[in-house]
Structure formats: C-alpha cells, structure tokens
Structure 1
C-alpha cells in the first residue's frame, strides 16, 4: 500500500525552513512587545520608571538640556545616523557603477530601504497616535493630563507626537544590519545586531532621562524596526536565493581588487 504524502513532505525543506524562520522572527518579537506593553502601558510600568528618573533628578528633568543628553546623544546621534545613511547611499551608488561592488548592490539597497521605511513608519505613527511626552504631563511638571494610547484625546489639548520614539527608532532602525550581514558577512551578523541595539538603547535612555519618552515608546520603536527589517528581508531575498553566495562573491571581488 502506497503511503499518502503528508503536508510536511508536500512542502520543500527549504520552504519549511523559511516559514519556520519567518514565524520565529516575526511572532516572537510581537509576543515580547505585547507582554512588554502589558507591563509598561497597561500595568503603569511606564509611569513607575519615569517616576524614578524624575525623582532621581530632584523632581525635575534636570538633564533635559544637559550637554551630553541634548547635544551629544540627541543632536550628535541624529547627525551620526544621517552620516551612516549617507555612507550607505555612496556605497550603493558605487555598487551600481563598479562591477567589483555589484554583489553588494542588492544588500545595500535592502539596508537603505529598511532604514528609510522604518523611519517613515515611526514618523507616521507619531503623528497618528497623539501621545504626549512625559515632560508635557502634569505628573512631571507639565500642563497636560495623561491620555492613553486608545483613549479619546480632547481637541483642546492640541497635537502631540511622542509615540513611538523617533530618536531611539533612528538607532534601532539599523537592526537591518543583521540581515545585511547575513548576506554579506554572515559571521558579523550578531555583532552588527548588538551594535544597533546598543545605539538604540543609548539613544532611548538619554531621551527618557530628558523626559522626552516613556520606556514603551522605545519598545515599540524597536519592534517596528525589527518587523520592517524582517518583512523586507523575506520579500527581497526569496527562498531560492543563496545566503552565502553573495557573501563569497562580494568578499572575493573586493578582496582581490582592494
């Protein structure tokens, strides 16, 4: 008697592996973000953490205009992300003109697209959610009452744009380096991811110390950054594409002609 094929045998092994990767890369971060949101937003963890930072600074946002938070990390960090984006643009242009760099064209286009799309989505959501920064709230010396994410905001309160966190998002957007390195130098993917996470956390913590954001604002900036990077990667690098062949080609071409 012939054995009936199962669903597992009908799906190629490579596709099953890809679906498994997609599930882990998308569902696990969403579950973590949901759990974190319950703790921070529904469970008032945001206010508790902000309270500690506020009291530690003498019941004021003493670091709001400090040189290292306002100028070094905020303005300097913003300039740094623009500079790195410019380097990626220049590298992409060279990959279109120099045959030796051609294997890098698609990964560079992915990296630039992911960072730009993440920044655009975060900026769009900030304009839609109308959530205040801690420094604007009565609880922390401001003039406005706290209005939750899903609560109706009175028109009289005017515009607000603090959720998700834009500055932390400009750092977290570079988690796309994980997938870029997966195509170019797979052995560097974890250091690249760690660097992007570290930059995002530094940006985010500095803004929390200034009273510009709650922790949940940073959490969702990271979540959006990772989801955009993952979905774009799955779309631009189909299952039939080799992960190692672009890396070998790029490494060989650049190494031989350096």
Structure 2
C-alpha cells in the first residue's frame, strides 16, 4: 500500500500514459491480442473459473475434498465480495479512463482519483481496474490453504497466490497498454481484493469459533 500511495503522490500515472499514447490516442487500443484475447477472452475464462469454483463449493472434487464445508463457502463468498467491492467503487468513481483525456484525443481533463467529488469531464467509473479484478478476486481462493497449519497446503496456497497475483498484473498491464487504465488502478484493485478476501476470511474464522463454542456449551 505504501508503494501505491507513493506512486499516486508522484503523478507517475499520467507520465506512464503519455509514454504509451499521444494526441491520436493509444496505438495498441484495438490490438487483436490485447482486446480480443487479453480482455474479452480472459474475462470469459474468469467467468468459467468462477462458475467452476461455485460448482466445487457444492460438489467438491480433488483437492477441494481436503477443505471443510465452511472453507469452501468462504472461498465462494470471498471471490464474490471482492468482485462486488471493485464494482461498487467503480460505480461511484468520477475518474475517467486515460483514453478519454484531451491529451489522448478525448474530452476529459486529468484529475487524480484522490480528488473526490471533482469531475474530469469524462464518463467516469474507471477506478479501480475492473478487468484486473477478474484475477485478483481469486486471492480469496488461496487463503484456506495459505493459512493452513499443514506445510504442503501452505505451499499450495503460496503457489496459488503467486499465479493469481501474476495473472492480475498481466491483465492490468494489458489494459494499461490499451489506454484503458492507469498503472495505479491495477495496484488498487489488488489491494481492494486482498483486503476484502482477508476481511471475509476473518469473518468466517470468527463465525466458526463462535459456532464451536456454542456447540461445546
């Protein structure tokens, strides 16, 4: 979070986008790989994985059998809440996407996402990065394994986290190259999803302890 705040304060966001685009827009905005594969294709894959997680929550198979019922529901809830959290913030955000800026052929002016309530002349609803949440939301998937007392499960959890974070960074970068999001948008998406996942994990842990205490009375 500290590094993200420092980046925000430096206004490197605009500098990075200026390096990638110009008055005629962003050259890679409609590149087939970035738009069709990394955006549309990745989003469709994320939906399939999400549906797969929901299916495994109800009908566990493979490694999912190692998880208790409440852990499976924790994963499903954590992913869902992470997606909802990012969507909710985007809905109230007045920040427009870089490709809407006047500097890149649009109509909006650059306004920091910290300038709450200040409109930039664009359509807004671009902060944080929604596409990156297609990966970062799955941070919740790794927590039951990551917080396990079993060494092998912890190792699996770390591997999951690494793949999820790397995937989120790649998806975020692909959108930055297209001019859709500033680099900081990806970082904040990761932080929102991680915070939501850990809060959800804490609530499920509290509920489990409370339930066990009531049963043992």
TM-score (norm 2): 0.84
Does the CA-based 8 Å contact 1:137-1:143 persist in structure 2?
Answer: yes
Does the CA-based 8 Å contact 1:130-1:159 persist in structure 2?
Answer: yes
Residue of structure 2 in register with 1:218 after alignment: 186
Which ranges of 4 or more aligned residues in structure 1 deviate by more than 6 Å? none
CA shift, 1:126, in A, is 0.6
Number of residue pairs matched? 201
Selected match of 2:17 from 32, 41, 50: 50
Residue of structure 2 in register with 1:176 after alignment: 140
Distance 1:239 1:126, change over 3 A: closer
Q: Secondary structure at the match of 2:25?
A: coil
Larger Rg belongs to: 1
CA shift, 1:158, in A, is 5.7
Residue 167 of structure 2 is aligned to residue 199 of structure 1: yes
Residue of structure 2 in register with 1:80 after alignment: 45
Give the Cα separation in 1 of the matches to 2:166 and 2:186. 13
Distance 1:154 1:234, change over 3 A: closer
- Runs (5+) with no aligned partner, structure 2: 210-217
Residue of structure 2 in register with 1:231 after alignment: 199
Give the Cα separation in 2 of the matches to 1:199 and 1:47. 24
Higher helix share: 1
Residue of structure 1 in register with 2:72 after alignment: 108
Q: Secondary structure at the match of 1:166?
A: coil
Give the Cα separation in 1 of the matches to 2:175 and 2:34. 7
Residue 62 of structure 2 is aligned to residue 94 of structure 1: no
- Runs (5+) with no aligned partner, structure 1: 1-32, 242-258
- Listed one character per residue, the Cα deviations across residues 47-96 of structure 1 (whole Å, up to 9, x for unaligned) are 111122226xx96312111111111011111111111111111111214x
Give the Cα separation in 2 of the matches to 1:104 and 1:154. 47
Does the CA-based 8 Å contact 2:94-2:117 persist in structure 1?
Answer: no
- The Cα RMSD (Å) is 2.4
Residue 104 of structure 2 is aligned to residue 140 of structure 1: yes
TM-score (norm 1): 0.71
